Each structure stands twice: as C-alpha cells, then as structure tokens.
Amino acid sequence: KIIILDFGSQFTQLIARRVRELNIYCEIYPFNHLPEFDPTVKGIILSGSPHSVRQDEPPHFDYQRFRDQYPILAVCYGAQYLAHFHGGEVQASSTREYGRANLQYIQPGNPLFKDVPSNSQVWMSHADTIVSLADDFEVIASTDTVRVAAYQVKNSKTYGIQFHPEVTHSIDGKQLLQNFLVDICGCVQEWTPDSFVETTIAALKEKLGDDKVVLGLSGGVDSSVAAVLLHHAIGKNLHCIFVDNGLLRKDEFQSVLDSYQHMGLNVKGVDAKQRFYDALNGLSDPELKRKAIGRVFIEVFDDEAHRIEDVKWLGQGTIYPDIIESVSVKGPSATIKSHHNVGGLPDFMKLKVVEPLNTLFKDEVRKVGRTLKIDENILGRHPFPGPGLAIRILGEVTPEKVQILQEADAIYINNLKSAGLYNKVWQAGTIFLPVQSVGVMGDERTYENVVCLRAVESLDGMTADWCHLPYDVLAKISNEIINNVKGINRVVYDISSKPPATIEWE
Ligand code: XMP
C-alpha cells in the first residue's frame, strides 16, 4: 500500500481516489500523526497544503528518516517543503501560477515522466514558488514561467512536483502517478472490488468467528453493502434491524424490506411510526426535530438489540471519508472524550464495533455492491437524510403532512425515472412549505398547501447546483401533483445552488 501524508490540502482525498483508480490501495494520515509503518508500505505521497513553508511553524515532515527507506512523491507544498528545508529556497511567486500550464522541458528518460509527452498540460495552484534547489536536487521538468515544475533528489527515489497530477486538468497526471506507483514504488495493481470482497469476507470470518452481530439497515447504499458483506461472512449470525420511522418515502419500507429478505438477509422490520410521530408532536425547530428522531431511533434500536441473545458486535456502514482524520480540526483528543461517556450510552453502543466499509470511498462502496450483485434499486438510490421527510416538512410534522408529501414525492420521483432523468440527478425530493396559497379549482376557490420540488447535481453533497430539468417534465409533474394530491394547489421549483443555499431546506 501507499501512505498519503495530508498537510491539509483540499485535494488530498482526490490523490487517494486516483491511486485507488489505479487499483492500488492507499491510506491517508495527518502529517503529524504517522502510523506504525508495516512491511506492505511501498511508498509515500506528500500532499499540498494551504500553509506556506515561509510562515512561522510550517507543518513539518522528517525527511531524513524516510529518504532512504521509501520512494517519496512530494506534491505542491510537499515539494516546496523538501526543497526549502534541504538547501533550496521558496519565495512568494511574482507571477500568477494558477490554472493550466505546459511542461516545456521534461528530462529525457526520467522514469517519473515515462510516456508523458512533451508540452503535456498540467494544473498549477500555488502562491509560493521554488526559486533555487540544493546541489543534490535536479530540475526534471519546467514550464515557461515555473523553472522548478518538478525535481528529483539525485541518487534517490524522491521526486517533487509543483503541479497537481490528481486533477483531471493535468492531462497525463494519471500516467505520472502510475509511473511513480508501479515503476518506482513497485506496487502491483491488484486492489479491485473483487479482491476487496474476497479478502474482507475472509477477514470478517476470522474476526467474528461464531459471534453474533446486530446492524441497523436504513435502505441506503452503505448499510446495505455492509450487511451483505457481513451476511456472506457469518450468515444468520448477522441480525439486521430495519426501523420504519414513518418518515420514509411512499411504500419504501415494505419494498426495501422485501429486497432485503430476497437477498437472504436475516432482517427484522420494526414498525415504530407512532413513537416517532409522538416524539415530533409540537416540535418545529429543525435541530429539535433531528434530536428527537435520533433519540427515538436509539431507543427503538436498543429495545430490539436486547431481544437478540448474546450479541457481541455492532455492525456499521461507516465509510472512509467519515473517519479520515482532518489535519487541523480533529485531533486525537476528540476521540478520547467520547470514552468518558460510555456509562451513559445505550447498551448496544457498548458492543464492539465492526465496520467493513471503513476503508472505502462512496463510489467504491457502489462498485463493491455491484460485485456482490445487490439490487440496482438500492445501489443507484439518491442520498436520503436520516431524519427523512421530517426535515422536508418545514415546521411541525404531522402524519397527515407526511402522507401528502409522500404522494407528491412519489409522483415526482416516478416521473424523473420515466423521463430517464433519475440517474442524472444526484439527489431529488419534495419539500412541504409552511404556507398556504389561494387557488381555483373548477368554480371553487381553494386555500391549500404548496410543495417545492428540489433536484441537484453534486459530487459529494458539499457543493451542489440546481438541475435544469426540462420544462415539459416539470409541467407534467406539477399537473399530476395538483390534480392527484389532495391538499396541494401549488407547485414551485427551487433554483438555488449550494452554497449559499443548502440541499435540504432545514
Ligand atoms: P445540506 O442540506 O446540508 O445536505 O446541503 C447535504 C447532504 O446531507 C444530507 N443531510 C442529512 N443527512 N442527516 C442525514 O443523514 C441529516 O440530518 C441531514 N441533513 C442533510 C442531505 O440530504 C444532503 O444529501
């Protein structure tokens, strides 16, 4: 595997994704929190950073310790760091070095640039520039404005590059990474969804033996894939619980429960609708609604988990981005705290935790799901928030509003599917607005509710653009909703992007 040391760059996770796209396993660690390196580590990549080597106390890396042990690829800040603290100099750049540039010079025969054509386009994004190098560093690539676009430490496998090979604007970035990983580090490209499934199931068997595991299914991709992996490893010893909180989409509880049973999972469906509605009664503040739903879920899950005798483990669908330690925000101290609360936790939370997906990114979870032949209906599903329709009903939630919203939402989603748009949209849903408006139906004046349609394109939910859905599709959806859903006389479309808006309204 490859270790990526994170100095806080926004691109660090992208480097990891690129390495994995080359079927090579890698892990990200904060620059100041190195793991014990094991014999499977073949090389190190140093990320970029918002910091500058010229500031007080720049993030440090102990180069001397690793220089002869591992091949090192230092990107952007990493490259500036090695240059600056080993006999060279870094200064603020005088020209703008942001955006596309071309490698006018590439050292002939350098293994890092094998099969990278001359004049290859690269992507620069830096405010500092390397102005001089120590004698044992040599320039191996330049652009017309950046002389030290790439360097090598002579007689070593240390390389520094000023541009970002991980972004697609660096046309040959993937080739360059492959050269480093395969030719220089000696990695074998064998980390695939199939091999992940095989080794994970074997490891789970070994770890869990005859122990019982309890796992909460949500209908979403992550918990479903985690459950199927565990099911392959321990069969009926995996006890799944799927809670109907009364806030799911129309008919979703039953249809998802059916698919789970169809896949052979040992799953219990629990109808807890009324408990959730009771807890939500009278609440209109979004955060209070979220807290109430979280609390009731834990109570229901704890009750159910108690019915399973002798359960030892809690299975979870946690994925890699949830656990990557971010460089400045979370330190080790953040995790220490939660241990102090153990006494107050529900019993199931005192179980040992097993998280089969905690090394995977979201797109990898889907690929693993396909290898496991999980229903495309589950794998291709839009993200759906844990608190469900409760945060799509602005203000107080009542069973009547849930029912109205479910009907409108079903019409919306079905139309997206039949127009072939569902898979092009990252997330879609309807929002029940806390206003009533005047309308006219036949000869009658109406005074009824408004629903808003929301559809966004996004990669990870952090930023999002509203979708330009075709007018004729919107027209058909609006007509169908107003004609069929009693209680709604107006449909609007949300044309806000994130930021500054958010995807959900609450
Ligand atoms: P926002 O509204 O913050 O949403 O732009 C980003 C993504 O997160 C989902 N979301 C939630 N998911 N519990 C969840 O499990 C929540 O309380 C919650 N709030 C928002 C949202 O659906 C979108 O995918």
Q: How far is the CA of 504 from the centre of ligand 1 (A)?
A: 6
Could you tell which of 462, 504, 505, 506 is best to mutate to test the pocket of ligand 1, judged by most ligand atoms within 8 Å of the CB?
Answer: 504
Q: Could you report the per-residue pLDDT of 249-260, keeping only the tens digit for each? A: 999 999 999 999
What pLDDT sits at residue 334?
40
- Give me the mean pLDDT over the 466-495 stretch: 98
Q: Which ligand 1 atom lies nearest to the CA of residue 458? A: 24
Length of the chain: 506
Best of 503, 505, 506 for a ligand 1 pocket test (most atoms within 8 Å of beta carbon)? 503
The answer, yes or no, to whether residue 60 has pLDDT greater than 80, is yes
Distance from the alpha carbon of residue 330 to the mean position of ligand 1, in angstroms: 21
CA of 388 to the centre of ligand 1 (A): 9
In the predicted model, is pLDDT for residue 496 greater than 60? yes
Residue 73: C-alpha distances to residues 5, 28, 44, 106, 179 (Å): 10, 14, 6, 17, 11
Fold annotation for 2-184: Rossmann fold (3.40.50)
pLDDT value of residue 352: 94
Q: Check residue 37 and give its pLDDT.
A: 84
> Given a cut of 50, is residue 145 above it in pLDDT?
yes
Counting atoms of ligand 1 from 1, which one is nearest the CA of 505? 2
State the span(s) of the chain assigned CATH 3.40.50.620. Answer: 193-379
CATH of 398-493, one of 3.90.1150.10, 3.40.50.720, 3.50.50.60, 3.30.300.10: 3.30.300.10
> Tokens in use for 338?
């939660």
* Predicted pLDDT at 331: 39
pLDDT at residue number 343: 53
Mean pLDDT across 113-137: 93
Q: How far apart are CA 144 and CA 263, in angstroms?
A: 59
Q: CA-to-CA distance for 402 and 393, rounded, in angstroms? A: 8
498 ligand 1 Cβ < 6 A: yes
332-381 pLDDT, tens digit per residue, is 344 433 444 445 667 777 899 999 999 999 889 999 999 999 999 899 99
Count Cβ atoms below 10 Å from residue 303 Cβ, excluding itself: 15
ipTM confidence: 0.98
pLDDT at 140: 97
> Where, residue-wise, is CATH 3.40.50.880 in the chain?
2-184
Q: Is 441 helix (H, G, I), strand (E, B) or coil?
A: strand
Region 380-407: mean pLDDT is 96
Tell me, using a 6 A CB cutoff, whether residue 463 lines ligand 1: no
98-102, 171-175, 340-344, 462-466: least confidently modelled range: 340-344
User: Does 268 score more than 90 pLDDT?
Assistant: yes
Q: Annotated active-site positions, please?
A: 76, 164, 166
Helix (H, G, I), strand (E, B) or coil at 393: strand
Structure confidence by residue, pLDDT tens digits, 198-225: 999 999 999 999 999 999 999 999 999 9
- The pLDDT tens digits of the residues spanning 269-326 come to 999 999 999 999 999 999 999 999 999 999 999 999 999 999 999 999 999 988 887 6
Residue 362, ligand 1, Cβ within 6 A: no
Q: Is 219 annotated as a binding residue?
A: yes
Domain with CATH 3.30.300.10 in the chain: 398-493
386 lines ligand 1 (CB under 6 A): yes
3-state secondary structure (DSSP) of residue 6: strand
**Interval between CA 10 and ligand 1 midpoint (Å):** 21
Closest CA to 428 of 397, 383, 459: 383
Superfamily grouping for domain 193-379: HUPs (3.40.50.620)
Atom number, ligand 1, closest to the C-alpha of residue 429 = 22
Percent of the chain with pLDDT over 70: 96
- What pLDDT is stored for residue 64 in this prediction? 93
* Residue 301 CB partners (closer than 8 Å, separation 6+): 216, 241, 243, 346, 348
String of DSSP letters for 453-479 = EEEEE-SSSSSBEE----HHHHHHHHH
pLDDT of residue 321: 87
Any residues with CB less than 8 A from the CB of 338 and at least 6 apart, and which?
Answer: none
pLDDT of amino acid 345 = 67
The pLDDT of residue 271? 98
Contacts 24+ apart (CB under 8 A), 416-423: 416/455, 416/473, 419/470, 419/473, 421/469, 421/473, 422/380, 422/382, 423/380
Task: Tell me how far CA of residue 54 lies from CA of 57, 82, 155, 221, in angstroms.
Answer: 9, 13, 27, 45
pLDDT band at 480; cut points 50, 70, 90? very high
The pLDDT value recorded for residue 341 is 44
Proportion of the chain above pLDDT 90, given as a percent: 86
Ligand 1 centroid – CA 126 distance (Å): 32
